[in-house]
Amino acid sequence: MCYTLSNCVRGSALAETGGARLLKILAVNYFEWPTENYEVFSKMGYEIDVVKPSDPPPVDDYEVGFFEASYMTAHAEKLKNIKFVQMQTAGHNHLPVEFMRSNPGIQFCGGSGSYGKSISEWAICGALQILRQTPLFEGYRLEKKWSWEGSYDSRELWGSVCGVLGTGDIGTECAKKLHAFNCHVIGLNTSGHKAEHFDECLPTTSIDELCSRCDVLINTLPLTPGTKMLVGRAQLEKCKKTAVIVNVSRGGIIDEEALADMLDAGLLAGAAFDCYAVEPVPPESRLWDTKNFILNPHCCGVTMGLSRRYLEHYIQNAERYIHGQPLVGVITPGRGY
C-alpha cells in the first residue's frame, strides 16, 4: 500500500519554488504515523510517498528516503536516484559499509539526538533498581514474603562516582541527570577531550582506571572495532565489588560471560542491560538466570516521546536539504556513528 501527499499543496509549493520540480521523498512508515505527520514535508515543497516496510518503492525517482539502510540495500536498483537517507537508529554497527563506500553520493544520516532523553532515563532507572535491590524484593514478592531482610544493604545513587562510556547525545543526557543526584561524572571518549556536563573525561586507553574508580558504569558507546570487548574480564575485575554495570547501547562491548560469572559469584553488585551480543537473547542463555541481572529486550529508548523527536529530526534535515545546507548526523562509513 502506498499513499502520496502532494496534491493538497502542489499548487502553492510550485508557486513558492517558481514552478520547479518538486523533490520526492519515499517514507517507510515503521511506526504507523498518521497522515498529518507527513503533511509538513509537502508544505516544504516535497512530494512524499508513504509505504509500509514490506512494500517496494512504487516508482524510481526519489531523491530523499526516510527509511533504514536495510530497505535501501534491498531495493537499491529502484532507488538509484537517492541522494539523502534519514534513518532512525542511533547505533550503526549494522550498516552496509561497503555499499555506503561504493555510493559516496548518498548521504546517510542517523537518529542521534532522538534517543538521549529516553535512554538516559532508563539507564539511571536501571542503576537505581540495582542499588535499591529491586531484584531481591521482586523475589520476595513472587514468594509472597513480607521481609525487610537485606534492606539495610540498599545504597543510594546520591554522591556516587559514575563513569559514562561515550560523551555523545545519550552519554551527555546521562551526565546531566546524574548531576541531579550530586554525582561526580567521568566521561570516556576516544581522546579524553573535555565534554559539556562531565566533571572530567578520560581517553579509552584509560578504561582500567575508570572501572576501578566508579560506583556506577554506564555504557553508551557505539559498537566499533575500537570498542568491541572494551570492558572485558580484566576490566570487570578492576571494578569495585559494589559496582553497578549498565548497558544501553550495543552488545559486544561488555563481556557478558565474564559479567555473569562475577555477578553469580557476588563480585559485583548487579547489572541492568538493554542490549546484548546476541539478540534476541536465546532461551538457553545464562543471562536469564544470572543473579542481580536486569534483562530488558532492547527497547529502553522506545517511548511516546521518541516518535515526536523522530519527526523533529526528519523535519530539521529535510529543511536543510531542500535549502542546500549541511545535514545533521551524517555517518562516516565504517566509523559506526
Predicted local confidence at residue 92, as pLDDT: 62
Instruction: Give the pLDDT confidence of 129-173 residue by residue, as tens digits.
Output: 999 999 999 999 999 999 999 999 999 999 999 999 999 999 999
Predicted local confidence at residue 293, as pLDDT: 99
**273: phi then psi, degrees, rounded to nearest 5:** -120, 140
Catalytic pick among 138, 149, 200, 279:
279
pLDDT value at 122 more than 90: yes
pLDDT value at 44 more than 60: yes
250 in catalytic set: yes
Label residues 89-127 b or e (16+ Cβ within 10 Å = b): bbbbbebbbeebeebeebbbbbbbbbbbbbbbbbbbebb
Catalytic pick among 179, 184, 197, 298:
298
pLDDT value at 69 more than 80: yes
Does this chain's domain 2-114+304-322 share its CATH topology with 116-295?
yes
pLDDT, the chain, mean? 91
CATH code, residues 116-295: 3.40.50.720
Average pLDDT over residues 59-74: 92
CATH code, residues 2-114+304-322: 3.40.50.720
**The model's pTM:** 0.87
Catalytic pick among 75, 92, 213, 250:
250
pLDDT value at 11 more than 80: no
For residue 100, name the pLDDT band (cuts at 50, 70, 90). Answer: confident
Instruction: Give the pLDDT confidence of 178-232 residue by residue, as tens digits.
Output: 999 999 999 999 999 999 999 999 999 999 999 999 999 999 999 999 999 999 9
279 in catalytic set: yes
Q: Could you tell me the residue ranges of all domains in the chain?
A: 2-114+304-322, 116-295
Predicted local confidence at residue 7, as pLDDT: 40
- Count CA atoms closer than 13 A to 255's CA, side-chain side: 15
